[in-house]
Amino acid sequence: MLNASLKELSKQLAEKKLSSVELTSFFLQRIKTLNPDYNAFITINEEMSLAQAINADKMLAVGEGGPLTGIPIAQKDIFCAKGWLTTCGSKMLSNFISPYDAGVIERFNLAGAVNIGKTNMDEFAMGSSNETSYYGIVKNPWDTKAVPGGSSGGAACAVAARLAPAATGTDTGGSIRQPAALCGISGIKPTYGLVSRYGMIAFASSLDQAGPMAKSAEDLALLLNVMVGFDARDSTSLQRAQEDYTSSLERPLSGLRIGLPKEYFAKGMSQDVENAIDKALAEYRKLGAETVEVVLPNAPLSIPVYYVLAPAEASSNLSRFDGVRYGYRAESYSGLADMYRKSRAEGFGPEVKRRILIGTYVLSHGYYDAYYIKAQKLRRLIAQDFAEAYRQCDVIMGPTTPTVAFNLGEKSADPIQMYLSDIYTSAANLTGMPAMSIPIGFGEKNRPVGLHIIGNYFKETQLLNIANQYQRVTDWHLKSAV
């Protein structure tokens, strides 16, 4: 059960060799034993998980199961789930029991999947190390002195430590791909608009996108099949014909043109990461792909652009947390303004406050044109660079992160260093393009390295095919941290 793929688990469930109650109990037991070491989960609710498992077993008994029926999934604590504490990693929501399900949760419920618990994350998804969570740090199962990455650090840790067969994450600047890379698992951020943002607590709405995190590309495809779909309650949700993301997993790669951006292979990447990337690219050449150099002249500006736009949107989105309708309210205050001030001062952590301040600054009269508008223009230029590159290649590859997982505490005092963790990932959010990370080996201190694969809009099926072909001939994705 520990290392089985979703397909294998699904088969055993369908053939009644295993029940969902058994499978769910197995992972709940592992979480109980191991979560104190890793802190990957904020909330476990055995009763609710088992109730879903019982229900899944009923569906399976009458032959109504789908590929994910009865399978436990760890849900990032950014998704509202009815009856579950939903904190977004913040003291601000430390008392919030959601009265409704997010679009993503609804889709998993309909598929008969089991919510095995809510995973730890950076506060309001702001961070790259999981160290900003109100619920404490998460440890990297490969080396407990290292960060798991963030903001979906709990999700990545849960999959890598085999506390759950698969998990959900969200990615605003890299929060699915960066922790996936640092924890040696696979993760994909789909094209913006494919997965509903309804009930997914907003950080930067034009960048936020949910996606799956799992051991392999094949697992990701099965999860995406459930997650993707139009939702009228999300005004940026896309209406498209449903795709089967497993449909091209087996397609050979001969003739595939892989673009290697000059800017991503310049300085910045550490030697151990570069060595692993070189080996992975050699593997792709053996599989019949060719590599071509491309240029993305404006891509190095992604981090400055992101750190104007994301805080701007966050400052607006987070204004709803005012202590009035739900969430944390200061215990003592005098009058309304003081209640707002104290609730927000006490409810938000330092990184969230930093983002709100940056955001209100770049949106303020006098700075709006100099920062916000300029960043929007650069965002367009970055997208144009990618469009140009895709004339010469089918996909773009490079490192997911500049280094392997850093040590806990190593960057927490230096926000700029922390922000640079997303140097390769944030462009896909600014452009809205799909991108994924897969494990390709180990670097310094035996910590995992991830390969970043970026595709053109709606090329998820192709990305998963490219990742799966690599995983057919290598076994990095099968290596377990525990």
User: Of the two residues 105 and 182, which places its CB atom closer to ligand GLN in the complex?
Assistant: 182
Decide: 124 and 218 in contact? Cβ < 8 Å: no
User: Of the two residues 66 and 434, which places its CB atom closer to ligand GLN in the complex?
Assistant: 434
Q: Tell me the number of residues near ligand GLN by CB under 6 A.
A: 13
The Cα 372–Cα 384 span in angstroms is 19
Active-site entry in 5, 19, 76, 128: 76
Q: Is 125 in the site for ligand GLN (CB under 6 A)?
A: yes
Q: Is 127 in the site for ligand GLN (CB under 6 A)?
A: yes
User: Of the two residues 48 and 185, which places its CB atom closer to ligand GLN in the complex?
Assistant: 185
Least distance (Å) from ligand GLN to the CB of residue 295? 25
Burial of 143 (0-12, 13-18, 19+ CB in 10 A): middle
Q: Is 349 in the site for ligand GLN (CB under 6 A)?
A: no
Least distance (Å) from ligand GLN to the CB of residue 129? 9
* Catalytic annotation present for 479: no
User: Of the two residues 337 and 413, which places its CB atom closer to ligand GLN in the complex?
Assistant: 413
Q: For residue 192, give the 3-state DSSP assignment.
A: coil
Q: Is 172 in the site for ligand GLN (CB under 6 A)?
A: yes
User: Of the two residues 90 and 172, which places its CB atom closer to ligand GLN in the complex?
Assistant: 172
Least distance (Å) from ligand GLN to the CB of residue 125? 4
* Catalytic annotation present for 175: yes
Out of 112, 153, 174, 184, the residue judged to bind ligand GLN by CB under 6 A: 174
Residue with the two structure tokens 């773009």: 396
| 25, two tokens | 């109990």
Q: Candidates 168-176, 323-331, 369-377, 449-457: pick the segment binding ligand GLN (CB under 6 A).
A: 168-176
409 CB-side CA count, 13 A:
2
User: Of the two residues 172 and 298, which places its CB atom closer to ligand GLN in the complex?
Assistant: 172
Decide: 189 and 435 in contact? Cβ < 8 Å: yes
The Cα 187–Cα 250 span in angstroms is 19
- State the amino acid at position 21 in one-letter form: V
Least distance (Å) from ligand GLN to the CB of residue 402? 13
The Cα 7–Cα 26 span in angstroms is 18
Active-site entry in 5, 128, 151, 315: 151
Out of 151, 209, 412, 469, the residue judged to bind ligand GLN by CB under 6 A: 151
In sequence order, what are the residues at sequence separation of 6 or more whose Cβ sits closer than 8 angstroms to the Cβ of residue 406?
A: 129, 146, 147
Q: Where are the beta strands (DSSP E) in 100-256?
A: 114-119, 166-171, 186-189, 209-214
Least distance (Å) from ligand GLN to the CB of residue 377? 21
The Cα 280–Cα 228 span in angstroms is 29
* Catalytic annotation present for 426: no
The Cα 370–Cα 368 span in angstroms is 6
In sequence order, what are the residues at sequence separation of 6 or more whose Cβ sits closer than 8 angstroms to the Cβ of residue 338?
A: none
Decide: 447 and 140 in contact? Cβ < 8 Å: yes
Q: Is 173 in the site for ligand GLN (CB under 6 A)?
A: yes
Among positions 407-446, residues that touch ligand GLN (CB under 6 A) are 422
Q: Which residues bind ligand GLN (CB under 6 A)?
A: 125-128, 151, 171-175, 203, 310, 422
**Which residues are the active-site residues?**
76, 151, 175
